[in-house]
Amino acid sequence: MSTAAALRGFSASTDKNVLKHYMSLDQPDDKVMCEYLWIDGTGEGIRSKCRTLDFEPQKPEDCPVWNYDGSSTYQAEGSNSDMYIYPRAIFRDPFRRGKNKLVLCEVFKYNNQPADTNNRMTCAKAMEAAKDSHPWFGIEQEYTLLDFDGYPFGWPKNGYPGPQGPYYCGVGANKVYGRDIVEAHYRACLYAGVKVAGCNAEVMPGQWEFQVGPCEGIEMGDHLWIGRYLLYRVAEDFGVNATLDPKPMEGDWNGAGAHCNYSTLPMRQSGGIKEIETAIDKLSKNHVRHIRAYDPKEGKDNARRLTGLHETSSIHDFSAGIANRGASIRIPRQVAEEGHGYLEDRRPSSNCDPYTVTEVIVQTTVLDK
């Protein structure tokens, strides 16, 4: 029997009703569980571990610096494996609830230099330099739910669902798969304090999207990474996997992106369309640079998705247009009619690092770097 065939009948999920007994046990008032989260050496994976504090932290600085084994996260050699995690953002924990927290961290090496995948530090510096422009971001995070065999959740095991068309924002058991996970994730985001703005079923069956924003500056990356962590944890509880692969199924199926909506204060003010057009001109002259920044493999992942088909632009060409979902940059029709607002950069891949995406956009359009 093949590995794939064996997995079709396998599930690592447990009975959550058993867990309820233990989660109902009283937690001492002076004991708070803090789940430390960080980005691993792939630039895509999230790792976490928990420590108990004897007080409820109110801000990241209240939480102590910690460490972990970087040799097990693709970040260090076993002979010198300690990596340090510095708390940078704090959220409520929707799984443990009460006073318990989620603590988003930056990673540093043994010599106090940032880890190779610590893109938050340079992003924070760029946002501080551009703070007078008040850069706002909103990211539309697409993802795909997978069964344990790696096949999209809800798809027939010996074939394919019908062609794309009825699934986008669909309703009905024959059109959408995994809505329970989506609803649970949305509520978890709201509880945690993530600025979740909405969600919808996407074009490929088993594919969904949640939106985060508007967030100003560094807040965008912080909130999206927490939103991703919550997605993985919620899906885990349902015995399902969530993937950010930008092209999970080859063939005539949509890929997955992380479209970035962006504006500065001048863009949002009356007559801001001129500022938007200026920003687009700057973006057009830095296309290759942005493509390299828009997925962890410097364009290789996006090359599978940005083909010019399935509501994408070609990875090789820059384009812009009003209400054009096949362009690199889309100006929403309402923005064009009102003469101010925001632009949508449709190039970032679903597995992008939002710190890198938002940093390069600000560098190009505001800081002229």
Kindly list the structural domains of the chain, giving each domain's residue range(s) and its CATH number in brackets, ordered by start.
Answer: 27-117 (3.10.20.70), 127-367 (3.30.590.10)
Residues belonging to the chain: 369
Low-confidence stretches of the chain (pLDDT < 70) are 1-12
Instruction: Give tens-digit pLDDT for 180-227.
Output: 999 999 999 999 999 999 999 999 999 999 999 999 999 999 999 999
337 CB-contact burial (10 Å; exposed 0-12 / middle 13-18 / buried 19+): exposed
Confidence at residue 302, expressed as pLDDT on a 0 to 100 scale:
95
DSSP letter at 90 equals E
Q: Which residues, 6 or more positions from 99, have their beta carbon under 8 angstroms from its beta carbon?
A: 32, 56
Contact call for residues 174 and 270 (beta carbons, < 8 A):
no
Peptide bond into 214 cis (omega under 30): yes
d(CA 276, CA 272): 6
Can you name the residues that pair with 345 across neighbouring β-strands? 260, 329
Confidence at residue 11, expressed as pLDDT on a 0 to 100 scale:
61
Task: Please tell me the pTM assigned to this model.
Answer: 0.96
d(CA 51, CA 367): 40
DSSP letter at 158 equals T
